[in-house]
Chains A and B, each alone.
Chain A
């Protein structure tokens, strides 16, 4: 099991490059630029969902179910006034507005992406540092991680999600657990290689205290690879959420996520493809943007890996 997943987890062995030039290179990289702009747009869509001409994404209306995009419905308010609402992306099998669900779905999908990436990196970083630095624990931790890693990710997620009452938290945990060992391995290998560096050995010999050693020498080296790793975790989190929903064990269908909308619409794919089409486009676009960002970051932050 020595095979490092090198394409997904580049290992930097040099101290971080000066940040100024890195930033400059990042800005100039068109892949990074496109990825970030798309992501920023999607984030804005998620944040401003209530003001983008949406209605309650969970409001059901059995009498106008399965309507094709462009269908107009008269909504009667409690005070008797009526307004016409256009279902831009049609309605689903409960008469909910697909457009509103897709727009609100951006919130959940991005929330999952960001929380899974940050939490798994945070946990993985701590465990990885411990494993890399505290020699007696290294063996135990790494055997445990090997065990976790030996369970294929989706299977592990399926098993974990069935542990909890199905909900947002359960899904997030289920996606985090399989990612942790991968982060741990990256961090540990960085710690180990950095320790070998002459200047770090010198620092240790000089009696530099552990916290300082960590902050000054070890952590900076983990930043670049972890940012890159984080983007890939984020992308896979969005996909795994969709797959769990597809298998019927994801986030409760009441909460609109792109995965949910597609999973609920899949039986009607042939008659009403809009249920899969629109969330599918958004999902693909988002993952594409995150992946592009990740690629760009890797090329820029880690020139050795350029082009991969």
Chain B
């Protein structure tokens, strides 16, 4: 087992390296000139050339990559062109809102989606099943920002239950923290609920058709026990898998949701950085998100062996 974990860990290194190269190359080929953006409106060509020189943008691409990779290896993400701050510091300041949003979303999604999925599977073919399935297709079909605006309109503007926008750090009080987090998290969880409910329903349905469930039923076991003891437990592997796959979806959604609700998280940082052609920041953020994605999927792979004793390495 330990050997397996180690092997899997090592296997992620080339993946992340490829991500780094890809991201670096892509951004260096963009037409935008960060020096001009930084120099501002009245800048002359000489001023821009000076800035370009100072940022090292006039060096050959290979040299730029070597410098960047070298610093990266030492844990130095570089300095943001635009914000004039070390990127590590910049990211550290943005992690809390994004993590809070992601966790809240996940919490809501799992609490809502798994019971819904189990119910739909249990009442297979009934109107409840149809509604759940209908919702899950619909959840995939509406852009996140439309959901966001609709929720703001109903719950923040018309009913006044929640603030319209903004984020309050946990250190500023739990009440305000939660109050400001509810709407964005619900917005983002819609697509996630759709995804997980669907997968739960399918997996539970499959398990319910297995022989041993039939046997349990024949033995006269209580339905609820069958459902939760046997069916859900055995359906856990695909459900956990889909939670992992959904991380990419979640990260994409975070970018949009943070824009809608003015949450100062990593998603907003990404969009700001792209618009400002802030190469080092974009590289760092994409690398970070990719790392998270790879890491979570690695954890899920490893979790398989916990959930499903049949899988052994």
Q: For the complex, is B300 an interface residue (Cβ under 8 Å from A)?
A: yes
Name the contact of A291 in the complex, choosing from B140, B277, B290, B297 (C-beta under 8 A).
Answer: B140
CB distance from B102 to the nearest CB of A (A): 12
Are A153 and B297 CB-contacts (below 8 A) given A7-B242, A247-B259? no
Q: Which of A289-307 contact B (CB under 8 A)?
A: 291-292, 295, 307
CB distance from A165 to the nearest CB of B (A): 7
Q: For the complex, is A18 an interface residue (Cβ under 8 Å from B)?
A: no
CB distance from B3 to the nearest CB of A (A): 16
> Which residues on the A side are within 8 Å of B301 (C-beta)?
1-3
Q: How far is the CA of A266 from the CA of B282 in the complex (A)?
A: 26
Q: For the complex, is B114 an interface residue (Cβ under 8 Å from A)?
A: no
> Which residues on the B side are within 8 Å of A146 (C-beta)?
15, 18
Are A3 and B297 CB-contacts (below 8 A) given A150-B290, A163-B29? yes
Q: How far is the CA of A262 from the CA of B142 in the complex (A)?
A: 12
The 0/1 profile, CB within 8 Å of A marked 1, for residues 13-44 of chain B is 01111110011001101111000000000000
Q: For the complex, is B241 an interface residue (Cβ under 8 Å from A)?
A: yes
Q: Which of B242-296 contact A (CB under 8 A)?
A: 242, 244-245, 247-249, 251-252, 255-256, 259, 270-271, 274-275, 277, 282, 285-286, 289-290, 293-294
Name the contact of A165 in the complex, choosing from B31, B256, B285, B290 (C-beta under 8 A).
Answer: B31
Q: How far is the CA of A242 from the CA of B23 in the complex (A)?
A: 23
Q: How far is the CA of A269 from the CA of B286 in the complex (A)?
A: 31
Name the contact of B153 in the complex, choosing from A144, A269, A287, A308 (C-beta under 8 A).
Answer: A269
Q: Which of A128-162 contact B (CB under 8 A)?
A: 143-144, 146-148, 150-155, 158-160, 162
Q: For the complex, is A243 an interface residue (Cβ under 8 Å from B)?
A: yes
Q: Counting chain B CB atoms within 10 Å of each CB, which of A155, A165, A239, A285 scores highest?
A: A155
Q: Pick from A70-78, A93-101, A221-229, A276-284 the stretch touching chain B.
A: A276-284
**Does A147 contact B251, Cβ atoms closer than 8 Å?**
no
CB distance from B228 to the nearest CB of A (A): 20
> Which residues on the B side are within 8 Å of A280 (C-beta)?
142-143, 146
**Does B256 contact A247, Cβ atoms closer than 8 Å?**
yes
Are A246 and B198 CB-contacts (below 8 A) given A1-B301, A163-B30? no
**Does A150 contact B143, Cβ atoms closer than 8 Å?**
no
Q: Which of A241-255 contact B (CB under 8 A)?
A: 242-243, 246-249
Q: How far is the CA of A249 from the CA of B140 in the complex (A)?
A: 22
The 0/1 profile, CB within 8 Å of B marked 1, for residues 3-44 of chain A is 101111000000000000000000000000000000000000
Q: For the complex, is B238 an interface residue (Cβ under 8 Å from A)?
A: yes
Q: How far is the CA of A148 from the CA of B18 in the complex (A)?
A: 8
Size class of the B contact interface (CB-based, 8 Å): 35 or more
Q: For the complex, is A270 an interface residue (Cβ under 8 Å from B)?
A: yes
Q: Which of A164-189 contact B (CB under 8 A)?
A: 164-165
Q: For the complex, is B149 an interface residue (Cβ under 8 Å from A)?
A: yes
Q: For the complex, is A235 an interface residue (Cβ under 8 Å from B)?
A: yes
Give the residue name and chain of the B residue nearest to A236 (CB).
B140
Name the contact of B22 in the complex, choosing from A148, A152, A243, A249 (C-beta under 8 A).
Answer: A148
Q: For the complex, is A108 an interface residue (Cβ under 8 Å from B)?
A: no
> Which residues on the A side are within 8 Å of B31 (C-beta)?
163-165
> Which residues on the B side are within 8 Å of A3 (C-beta)?
241, 244-245, 297, 300-301
Query: Dominant SS at the B interface?
Result: helix
Q: How far is the CA of A2 from the CA of B270 in the complex (A)?
A: 28
Q: For the complex, is B45 an interface residue (Cβ under 8 Å from A)?
A: no
> Which residues on the B side are within 8 Å of A192 (C-beta)?
none
**Does A243 contact B23, Cβ atoms closer than 8 Å?**
no
CB distance from B263 to the nearest CB of A (A): 15
Q: For the complex, is A288 an interface residue (Cβ under 8 Å from B)?
A: yes
Q: How far is the CA of A262 from the CA of B26 in the complex (A)?
A: 29
Q: How far is the CA of A259 from the CA of B282 in the complex (A)?
A: 24
Q: For the complex, is B171 an interface residue (Cβ under 8 Å from A)?
A: no
Name the contact of B198 in the complex, choosing from A242, A288, A292, A308 (C-beta under 8 A).
Answer: A308
**Does B252 contact A154, Cβ atoms closer than 8 Å?**
yes
Give the residue name and chain of the B residue nearest to A3 (CB).
B241
Q: How far is the CA of A226 from the CA of B181 in the complex (A)?
A: 39
Q: Counting chain A CB atoms within 10 Å of each CB, which of B17, B23, B195 scores highest?
A: B23
Apart from A5-B245, A155-B286, A159-B23, 11 more pairs, CB < 8 Å: A7-B195, A7-B198, A143-B15, A150-B19, A151-B19, A152-B293, A155-B270, A158-B255, A159-B27, A162-B274, A270-B153
20 A-B pairs with C-beta separation under 8 A: A1-B12, A146-B18, A150-B15, A151-B293, A152-B252, A153-B249, A153-B252, A159-B282, A160-B26, A163-B30, A163-B31, A243-B256, A248-B275, A249-B275, A262-B145, A266-B145, A276-B146, A280-B142, A287-B142, A291-B137
Give the interface of A toward B (CB within 8 A).
Answer: 1-3, 5-8, 143-144, 146-148, 150-155, 158-160, 162-165, 235, 239, 242-243, 246-249, 259, 262, 266, 269-270, 276, 280, 283-285, 287-288, 291-292, 295, 307-308
Give me the 8 closest cross-chain CB pairs, A-B, nearest first. Answer: A147-B18, A154-B252, A287-B141, A308-B202, A152-B251, A150-B290, A288-B141, A152-B248
